[in-house]
Amino acid sequence: MPEAVIRVAGLGKSYVTAAGLFPALKGVDLTIRRGEFVAIMGPSGSGKSTFMNLLGCLDTPTMGDYYLVERNVAHMGSDELAILRNRTIGFVFQGFNLLPRMSLEDNVALPLVYSGIEREVRRAKGRQMLARVGLDGYAKSLPARISGGQQQRVAIARALINSPRLILADEPTGNLDSHTGEEIMALFGQLNDEGITIVLVTHEADIAAHAKRQVRFFDGHIVSDIINDSATLARKPASC
């Protein structure tokens, strides 16, 4: 059995609101192993976004433990969390989140700035990553010059640049039409075939169908956790 990339035990998060303490996540246990492709589903307010933020080391839990590659991150300081976000996790957002005034190669290579890599090495690696997501030749373009699907590919290239153990995607197809969404999902599938662990949040069942495992949240709890055997069969070969 492959080692656990993510292991959470009794993970909870409460927010302080005007009406008092609001528990968004109420003690979740989950283990995700290397090479898995997990879709996290659930209606809004179910706690899936809070869970994603905790997995992404963007937020710290108020209770429980979170082991990322067997290191407990629940009590880490902000600098240590930043280093994890930089080296161990790759993020893909719904809104792509590229820096609008930066060329695509610089956008892709941005995480390397915080790893202390030199400019020329960064750019070379950025172009290499762009080629990997099928966008070679776009290195000098600006994000506004390319389509939404292409922007999301750039964001994926950025997530991949530090060879992370884990890719976290928050509604990665939410801003795309269904055809482009399928292409992006195919790319995720291809990356998963290369051995990268992928966790994505979605509320669309046909997107979740690409994942090998589906975890459903409701009211701060996990209500179902099923293996999706049809995933590998449903997947088309990546067309890029």
Partner 1 sequence: MLGAMLGEAWHAMGCNRMRTALTMLGMVIGVGSVVLMMAIGQGAQYAVAQTISTMGSNLYILISGSTNTSGVRTGSGFGPTLNVADAEAIAELDDISNVAPVHQGTQQLVYGAKNWSATVVGTTPAYLDARAWTLTSGYVFGESDVRSATRVALIGRTAAENLFEPNEDPLGKTIRIRQTPFVIIGTLGAKGQNLDGRDQDDTIIIPLTTAQRKVFGVPFAGSVRTVVLQASSAEAMPAVEKSVTALLRQRHRLREDMDNDFYIRNLAAAADSAAETTRVMSLLLGAIASVSLLVGGIGIMNIMLVSVTERTREIGIRMAIGARQKDILTQFLLEAIMISIAGCLIGLVLGISSALLINAITNMVIVISGGSVLVAFTVAAGVGVFFGFYPARKAAALDPIEALRYQ
By CB under 8 A, name the one of 9, 23, 59, 69 that touches partner 1. 59
Check: CB of residue 25 under 8 Å from CB of residue 47. yes
Which part of the chain contacts partner 1 (CB under 8 A), choosing from 54-62, 124-132, 144-152, 212-220?
54-62
Q: How far apart are CA 202 and CA 173, in angstroms?
A: 8
Going residue by residue from 82 to 101, which x/- string records binding to partner 1, judged by CB under 8 A? Answer: xx-xxx---x-x---x-x-x
* Least CB distance to partner 1 at residue 179 (A): 27
Which part of the chain contacts partner 1 (CB under 8 A), choosing from 78-86, 194-202, 203-211, 212-220?
78-86
- Nearest residue (CB) to partner 1, 63 versus 142: 142
Q: How far is CA 47 from CA 33, 95, 103, 172, 226, in A?
A: 22, 20, 35, 18, 18
Going residue by residue from 100 to 129, which x/- string records binding to partner 1, judged by CB under 8 A? Answer: -xx---x---xx-xxxxxxx--x-------
Sheet of strand 63-68, all strands in order from the earlier edge strand to the far edge: 20-33, 4-17, 63-68, 71-72
At how many degrees (to 10) do helices 119-132 and 148-160 cross? 120
| Contacts for 174 with CB less than 8 Å, ≥ 6 apart | 94, 202
The contact set with partner 1 (CB under 8 A) reads 53, 56, 58-59, 78-79, 82-83, 85-87, 91, 93, 97, 99, 101-102, 106, 110-111, 113-119, 122, 158, 162
